[in-house]
Amino acid sequence: MDCMVTGGNVKVLATSIHSLSRIGEELYLEPQEDGLALRTVNSSRSAYACFLFGPLFFQRYSSSKSSTFRCKMAVKCAQAVFRSLSSLEKTVERCRIQLNSEKSRLTFTLHCKHGLLKTHNLSFQDCESLQAVFDKESCGNILRAQPRLLVDTVLHFPSSLEEVSVSVSGEQVCFRNHVEEKAEQGKAMLTELSLTAEEFEQFTVGCPACVTFCLKEMRGLLMFAESSGLPVSLYFDAPGRPVILSLTESVLEVNFVLATLSEDSHPCNDNRNKSTEGLQNAAPPDDFMNDDIDSYLIAMETSELAPGGHGCVPPPPQDANMGQLRARATSEGEEEQSEEEMGRAPNKKFCSLFFGSVLPTPSQVTNLTLRSQEVLASDSENEEEDATLL
Amino acid sequence: MPLSTQSEAGDDQYILVASLDNVRNLSNILKAITFKDHALFNATPNGLKVTVEDSKCLQANAFIQAEIFQEFTIQEDSVSFQVNLAVLLDCLTIFGGSTVPAVTTALRMCYNGYGFPLTLFLEEGGVVTVCKINTEEPEDPIDFEFCSTNVTNKVILQSDSLREAFSELDMTSEILQITMSPSEPYFRLSTFGNSGNAHYDYPKDSDMMELFQCTKTQTNRFKMSLLKPSTKALALSCKVSVRTDNRGFLSLQYLVRNDDGQICFVEYYCCPDEEVEEE
């Protein structure tokens, strides 16, 4: 692959890498015929992000004709190439990206002001294609808005907040902080923002629903959206099914696929029955709709999985689905998160405790340990389930 | 007896008296060489030279000419003493080191000779602080024998361009490799870190390049940890001269303009890390 990015597009490319760094630790780079794809998935595999830069985004673009070559590297390394986003526009005139599979070399060459030439040769690993399976079009609810609106909305939530719930009804959408346990709700601070349909460029509600997903990844996308000024589309339907945040432009397509909590853990859904009805009504004949996040996660592992394979995946019981998603988030998080990450985003359970009160009472602490143990146990059960699914 | 009267009385017994209306003209430049505690002060009628060393491989010198001081009186040809630089800087910025241009701290620095403390009188807004810092036995600085006649390659760059490179350097790399050559790549900084390698090339005809005198291709490696402190000097400076001699020793000279527009120099000498096969 050999491509050249010029002018303001260098910053767009750099921002996309910084945006991806908010989600995952590895950057998957794949030169495709229809453009350069940059992807990542978070450590708990509950969020997937993809930027596809079309050939016209580049001044010159050629993907290697011979074979599909793809690689991954630590996103930090790629970020180091574009360390300072603010000065980038002033200093960098053009950026050339070359991927030489024979020499195993990925080279970023930045041509800067005053003739300064910065060459970064990054080491990388071969990898499978990272590809989440999702279908925006099948989603019943579509909200499209200018990035500013969403940035201003998200601004009201504390940076420590991990999850946000979005509920839509006929004429309005409501964003609120997600509080984990029903029992703690009395103590927790609730922040809720309602936006009316007029604020959105598109407001299509096929099935009134309330979905809860991680705010961190959404912030990552908004960072890019704000910088590029492109409107953000939100595609979602029922809880437990992914929400897709999307930006499209003629030369660029961005999709963030985020897992949502499944229904049983949804304290915000008081009208649960109603929304379930909505889901059933809206469900298209496609088996894909009955699918759960697990199938997406499995599909992410490799692109070799035939898309038709989903048809035979039996939809697991909803609460198992919830348990697994939660368990993955907590248990894997505990193992894999580096110390600094731990500092920034404390353990999910603790987070909600902190919301409830500054210090948990001894009984809460006991509850907490018991709960996490339960969840961890369900994780191992579900691993077996995974096997059968595969 | 108040300290101030004591000093007023015995002004002529000091072998060194240096006064500054704005202490920042001294403290800023000392910050540019603060990477070890012990600093050797050497005063001559020409001015003050402050030397800090690390690992016998790195030496930094700050030169503050006599003209920078409002008063610079020296009774001997050469006066040397050693003090703890961190302590001295704490004293010099005892009033908080305000960056408001109108508010300046005035300094009167006095030294009585061997065995006496270094006495500082600092005044801001009518408030006077007197600091006495015990001096240490002066140690002879290393002579790097860096001689301009042995210089093989020399470039002078505007600091802005080098600052950008230094701020982006991959700190996971243990070394910084400097290549200077009469042909391409002319002047190159390279790092070899966890994520791969990176090269910064400055063409000889760049606007940022004020002087380019390279006679022979030289590639030398320097410990990143040793060169890191020099970024403090780079941050203050407006121009930097990079020179290497026939042994591969590196000299970095920074031209620093102070608050009053006067010029001072900071110099770093660094030993090469290892010999590299020349291309």
Domain at B118, CATH number? 3.70.10.10
Q: Which residues of B touch A84 (CB under 8 A)?
A: 167-168
- A74 at B interface, C-beta within 8 A: yes
Q: Is residue A381 included in any domain, yes or no?
A: yes
Q: What is the DSSP string of A21-79?
A: HTT-SEEEEEEETTEEEEEEE-TTS-EEEEEEE-GGGSSEEE--SSS---EEEEHHHHH
CB–CB of A82/A89 below 8 Å?
Answer: no
Q: Which residues of B touch A116 (CB under 8 A)?
A: 161, 164-165, 200-203, 206, 208
Interface test with A, best of B158, B159, B163, B164 (most A CBs within 10 A): B164
Tell me if A77 and B208 make a contact (CB, 8 A cut-off): no
Which of 120-159 (A) contact B at CB < 8 A? 120-123
**How far apart are alpha carbons A87 and A93 in whole angstroms?**
11
Whether A248 and A115 map to the same domain: the answer is no
Q: Which residues of A touch B206 (CB under 8 A)?
A: 114-116
In degrees and rounded to multiples of 5, residue A216 shows phi and psi of -55, -45
What pLDDT is stored for residue B103 in this prediction?
A: 81
Q: Which residues of B touch A114 (CB under 8 A)?
A: 161, 202, 206-208
Whether A22 and A66 map to the same domain: the answer is yes
Q: Which residues of B touch A122 (CB under 8 A)?
A: 195-196
Q: How large a percentage of chain A has pLDDT more than 70?
A: 65
Domain final residue, candidates A65, A94, A126? A126
Whether B165 and B116 map to the same domain: the answer is no
CB–CB of A352/A179 below 8 Å?
Answer: yes
Interface test with B, best of A81, A88, A90, A116 (most B CBs within 10 A): A116
Q: Is residue B265 included in any domain, yes or no?
A: yes
pLDDT digit string (tens) for A53-88? 999 999 999 887 666 778 899 999 999 899 888 888
Instruction: Select from B167, B199, B202 the Cβ nearest to the Cβ of A119.
Output: B199
Whether B89 and B164 map to the same domain: the answer is no
What pLDDT is stored for residue A16 in this prediction?
A: 96
pLDDT digit string (tens) for B7-49? 444 566 899 999 999 999 999 999 999 999 999 999 999 999 9
Domain final residue, candidates B103, B133, B163? B133
Q: Which residues of A touch B201 (CB under 8 A)?
A: 116-119
Q: Is residue A377 included in any domain, yes or no?
A: yes
**How far apart are alpha carbons A370 and A348 in whole angstroms?**
15
Tell me if B205 and A83 make a contact (CB, 8 A cut-off): no
Q: Tokens standing for A150?
A: 């969403």
Residue B278's pLDDT band, with cuts at 50, 70 and 90, is low
Domains identified in chain A, total number: 2
**How far apart are alpha carbons B265 and B133 in whole angstroms?**
25
Q: Is residue A131 included in any domain, yes or no?
A: no
Closest-CA distance, B260 to chain A, in angstroms, reads 29
Q: Is residue A117 included in any domain, yes or no?
A: yes
Closest-CA distance, B185 to chain A, in angstroms, reads 10
State yes or no: pLDDT of A382 exceeds 60: no
Q: Is residue A86 included in any domain, yes or no?
A: yes
What pLDDT is stored for residue A147 in this prediction?
A: 94
What pLDDT is stored for residue A244 in this prediction?
A: 95
Count of other CB atoms within 10 angstroms of residue B230: 25
Whether A83 and A154 map to the same domain: the answer is no
State yes or no: pLDDT of A378 exceeds 70: no
Q: Is residue B183 included in any domain, yes or no?
A: yes
Range scoring the smallest mean pLDDT among A142-146, A177-181, B183-187, B269-273? A177-181
Whether B193 and B108 map to the same domain: the answer is no
- A116 at B interface, C-beta within 8 A: yes
Whether A27 and A158 map to the same domain: the answer is no
Whether B13 and B114 map to the same domain: the answer is yes
Domains identified in chain B, total number: 2
Q: Is residue A265 included in any domain, yes or no?
A: yes
Residue B277's pLDDT band, with cuts at 50, 70 and 90, is low
Q: Cis link prior to B185 (omega < 30° from 0)?
A: yes
Instruction: Select from A74, A77, A91 the Cβ nearest to the Cβ of B164.
Output: A91
Domain final residue, candidates B133, B166, B184? B133
Q: Is residue B138 included in any domain, yes or no?
A: no
| Segments in chain B forming alpha helices (H) | 3-9, 24-31, 85-92, 159-168, 224-227, 230-236
Q: What is the CATH number of the domain that holds A156?
A: 3.10.150.10
Q: Is residue B142 included in any domain, yes or no?
A: no
Instruction: Select from A73, A115, A123 the Cβ nearest to the Cβ of B205.
Output: A115
Whether B116 and B157 map to the same domain: the answer is no
Tell me if A80 and B195 make a contact (CB, 8 A cut-off): yes
- A103 at B interface, C-beta within 8 A: no
Q: Is residue B139 included in any domain, yes or no?
A: no
pLDDT digit string (tens) for A269-303? 444 333 333 333 333 333 344 444 444 444 444 44
What pLDDT is stored for residue B76 in this prediction?
A: 93
Q: Which residues of A touch B191 (CB under 8 A)?
A: none
Whether B123 and B216 map to the same domain: the answer is no
pLDDT digit string (tens) for A132-189? 888 888 898 999 999 999 999 999 998 888 899 999 988 899 999 888 766 566 777 8
Q: Is residue B276 included in any domain, yes or no?
A: no
Question: Does this complex have an ipTM over 0.85?
Answer: no
Instruction: Select from A74, A87, A118 the Cβ nearest to the Cβ of B195.
Output: A74
What pLDDT is stored for residue A102 in this prediction?
A: 78
pLDDT digit string (tens) for A22-35? 999 999 999 988 89
What pLDDT is stored for residue A314 in this prediction?
A: 37
Whether B60 and B156 map to the same domain: the answer is no
Whether A294 and A214 map to the same domain: the answer is yes
In A, minimum Cα distance to B209 occurs at A114
- A104 at B interface, C-beta within 8 A: no
Domain final residue, candidates A126, A145, A175? A126
Q: Tokens standing for A355?
A: 């919301």
Helix A318-327 and helix A293-301, axial crossing angle in degrees, nearest 10: 50
Whether B200 and B223 map to the same domain: the answer is yes
Q: Which residues of A touch B200 (CB under 8 A)?
A: 116-119
Whether A173 and A270 map to the same domain: the answer is yes
State yes or no: pLDDT of A308 exceeds 50: no
Domain final residue, candidates B108, B133, B158? B133
Whether A212 and A65 map to the same domain: the answer is no
Whether A116 and A8 map to the same domain: the answer is yes
Secondary structure in 3-state letters for B198-220: EEEEECCCCCCEEEEEECCCEEE
Tell me if A80 and B170 make a contact (CB, 8 A cut-off): yes
Closest residue by Cα to residue A29 from A133, A128, A95, A132? A128
State yes or no: pLDDT of A223 exceeds 90: yes
**How far apart are alpha carbons A299 and A308 in whole angstroms?**
11
pLDDT digit string (tens) for B205-262? 999 999 999 999 999 999 999 999 999 999 999 999 999 999 999 999 999 998 888 9
CB–CB of B114/B74 below 8 Å?
Answer: no
State yes or no: pLDDT of A94 exceeds 60: yes
Average pLDDT, chain B: 90
Q: Which residues of A touch B205 (CB under 8 A)?
A: 115
In B, minimum Cα distance to A106 occurs at B196
State yes or no: pLDDT of B68 exceeds 90: yes
Instruction: Select from A91, A118, A123 the Cβ nearest to the Cβ of B195.
Output: A123
Q: State the sign of the Cα–Cα–Cα–Cα dihedral B174, B180, B183, B189.
A: positive
Whether B153 and B124 map to the same domain: the answer is no
What pLDDT is stored for residue A190 in this prediction?
A: 86
Q: Which domain holds residue B73?
A: 3-133
Whether B123 and B31 map to the same domain: the answer is yes
Average pLDDT rounded to a whole number, residues A76-104? 88
Q: What is the CATH number of the domain that holds A59?
A: 3.70.10.10
A vs B, Cβ pairs < 8 A, gives 60
Q: Is residue B79 included in any domain, yes or no?
A: yes
Residues of chain B that touch chain A, judged by Cβ-Cβ distance less than 8 Å? 161, 164-165, 167-168, 170, 194-203, 205-208
Whether A87 and A180 map to the same domain: the answer is no
Whether A97 and A34 map to the same domain: the answer is yes
Tell me if A122 and B203 make a contact (CB, 8 A cut-off): no
The CA–CA distances, whole Å, from A108 to A1, B199, B248 equal 12, 10, 30
The vertex-B259 CA angle with B255 and B261, nearest 5°, equals: 60
Residue type present at position B215: T
Q: Which domain holds residue A12?
A: 2-126
Q: How large a percentage of chain A has pLDDT more than 90?
A: 42
Average pLDDT rounded to a whole number, residues B177-185? 94
Whether A152 and A118 map to the same domain: the answer is no
Average pLDDT, chain A: 73
In B, minimum Cα distance to A78 occurs at B195
Closest-CA distance, B188 to chain A, in angstroms, reads 9
In A, minimum Cα distance to B202 occurs at A116
What pLDDT is stored for residue B253 in this prediction?
A: 96
Q: B195 by DSSP, 3-state: which?
A: coil
**How far apart are alpha carbons A377 and A137 in whole angstroms?**
36
Q: B68 by DSSP, 3-state: which?
A: helix
Closest residue by Cα to residue B253 from B273, B232, B234, B276? B234
Tell me if B199 and A114 make a contact (CB, 8 A cut-off): no
Whether A116 and A159 map to the same domain: the answer is no
Higher pLDDT, A61 or A385: A61
